[in-house]
């Protein structure tokens, strides 16, 4: 019995050992299968990682990479964002006009027909005393007024010279002499007022040197005495008149200077560099106006054209520790504003920013840029193009 039990136990132990070996082999096979699966899965993940990483380097929404040497080729430069004083700004519109005393209007000395002494045009330079026009009434009404004035003047002059001799010899009284002298003076002033008439009529002359900014008449026009013929500006001193919305009225006493940009040139003109000064600001608005005028005058050092419409940036109180960037750094897309931040030599990042006040050359950044950021100043357009061109191929490869 014991012998049979021993045999049974022996057979059972053998079977259990065989089962254990089989289980081990199967487990090993499963392990090999799992290992292959894991290897394949790992390889797939790695491939996907590379693909994603490639998209990040070459065209994600914010990351941009330029080719080696491209930064130097396009002359790209950056500016380090640094908190600094920034002047508060009121943006409005305005215009540039000639300063008081710098603009003169030439008027007709008599009624008559206008004749150009030469082919004048807007912008023509004239010297003081230059005869611009001749006004003739020779064939109008009672004849040429300048010729009549000349005859009266010469007659009065002869009578005055004769009276000077007679009064010395007591042939005429002192009273008669004074009457003759008065008549002569009146005739002389009338003659000179008509421009010392010549064969073509009286002359209208420029009283100062300058440039013709407007011609009011054409050749052959008939004008009345005192009618404007031309406007001349010396352009040495100009005025900037800003039209400020009434909501800024309480801020007007803080205004110290201004910058402006003309409609025909993107150059920013700074009154601080043009000997500019504040003349006055309106104490009230007109009955039909929603604006209050603020007036400056300045030296015309930038060949500003009088009469130009301009965008005006009134400068007021200065605030400290403000981050600002040049206007050239800013781009706009669908109402949002962006700058490009340099990460390393050839890598950049597109950053959305919230902007504040602008002084025409720089703009305040309220959020999106922190001190120490290197912001692209020159080459912004090329970086923007690189971002757009690199993003499209990456998106295609990813979908594929």
C-alpha span between 383 and 150 (Å, rounded): 76
Buried b / exposed e along 35-60 (16+ C-beta atoms within 10 A):
eeeeeeeeeeeeeeeeeeeebeebbb
Cα angle vertex 201, ends 127, 148, to 5°?
A: 130
What is the model's pLDDT at position 59?
Answer: 43
Phi, psi of 319 (to 5 degrees): -110, 140
Per-residue tokens: 260: 């402006």
Tell which residue, 281, 253, 326, has the closest CA to residue 94: 281
The predicted structure's pLDDT at residue 61: 60
pLDDT of amino acid 139:
59
The dihedrals phi and psi of 25, each to the nearest 5 degrees, come to: -65, -40
Residue 208: the pLDDT is 85
**Domain boundaries, given as residue ranges, for the chain:** 63-83+323-399, 90-99+235-321, 103-233
Statement: 103-233 belongs to CATH 2.40.50.100: yes
pLDDT at res. 288: 60
Q: Can you tell me whether residue 51 is helix, strand or coil?
A: helix
CATH architecture designation of domain 90-99+235-321: Beta Barrel (2.40)
pLDDT of res. 10 = 52
Q: Are 90-99+235-321 and 103-233 the same fold in CATH?
A: no
Query: For residue 56, what pLDDT is reported?
Result: 42
Q: Record the tokens describing residue 360, joined without a space.
A: 């025409």
Provide the pairing of β-strand 291-299 with 131-136: unpaired
Distance CA 302, CA 313 (A): 17
- Alpha-carbon dihedral 97, 99, 100, 101, rounded to 10 degrees: -120
Q: What is the CA radius of gyration of the chain?
A: 45
Is CATH 2.40.420.20 the right assignment for the domain spanning 63-83+323-399? yes
pLDDT value at position 142?
Answer: 55
Centre a 10 Å sphere on the Cβ of residue 381 and count the other Cβ atoms it contains.
Answer: 12
pLDDT at 34: 42
pLDDT beneath 70, residues of the chain: 1-61, 138-147, 193-201, 283-288, 302-303, 390-400
pLDDT tens, 311-363? 999 998 888 999 999 999 999 999 999 999 999 988 999 999 999 888 878 99
């Amino acid at each position: 019995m014991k012998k049979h039990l021993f045999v049974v136990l022996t057979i059972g132990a053998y079977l259990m050992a065989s089962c254990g070996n089989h289980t081990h082999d199967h487990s090993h096979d499963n392990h090999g299968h799992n290992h292959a699966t894991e290897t394949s899965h790992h390889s797939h993940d790695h491939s996907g990682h590379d693909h994603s990483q490639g998209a990040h380097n070459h065209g994600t929404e914010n990351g941009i990479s330029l080719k080696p040497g491209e930064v130097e080729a396009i002359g790209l430069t950056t500016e380090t964002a640094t908190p600094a004083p920034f002047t508060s700004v009121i943006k409005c519109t305005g215009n540039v006009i000639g300063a008081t005393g710098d603009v003169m209007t030439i008027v007709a000395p008599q009624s008559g027909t206008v004749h150009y002494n030469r082919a004048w045009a807007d912008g023509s330079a004239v010297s003081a005393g230059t005869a611009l026009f001749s006004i003739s009434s020779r064939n109008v009404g009672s004849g040429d007024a300048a010729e009549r004035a000349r005859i009266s003047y010469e007659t009065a002059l002869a009578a005055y010279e004769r009276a000077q001799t007679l009064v010395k010899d007591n042939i005429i009284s002192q009273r008669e002499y004074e009457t003759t002298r008065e008549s002569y003076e009146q005739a002389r002033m009338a003659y000179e007022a008509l421009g010392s008439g010549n064969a073509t009529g009286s002359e209208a002359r420029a009283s100062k040197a300058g440039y013709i900014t407007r011609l009011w008449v054409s050749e052959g026009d008939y004008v009345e005495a005192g009618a404007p013929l031309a406007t001349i500006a010396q352009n040495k001193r100009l005025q900037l008149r800003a039209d400020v919305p009434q909501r800024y009225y309480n801020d007007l006493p803080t205004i110290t200077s201004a910058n402006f940009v003309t409609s025909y040139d993107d150059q920013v003109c700074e009154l601080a560099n043009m000997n500019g000064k504040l003349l006055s600001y309106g104490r009230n608005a007109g009955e039909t106006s929603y604006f209050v005028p603020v007036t400056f005058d300045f030296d015309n050092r930038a060949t500003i054209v009088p009469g130009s419409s301009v965008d005006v940036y009134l400068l007021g109180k200065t605030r400290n520790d403000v981050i600002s960037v040049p206007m050239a750094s800013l781009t706009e897309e669908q109402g949002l504003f962006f700058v490009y931040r340099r990460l390393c030599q050839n890598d950049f990042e597109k950053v959305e920013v919230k902007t504040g006040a602008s002084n025409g050359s720089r703009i305040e950044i309220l959020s999106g840029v922190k001190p120490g950021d290197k912001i692209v100043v020159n080459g912004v357009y090329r970086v923007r193009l690189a971002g757009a061109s690199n993003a499209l191929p990456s998106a295609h490869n990813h979908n594929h």
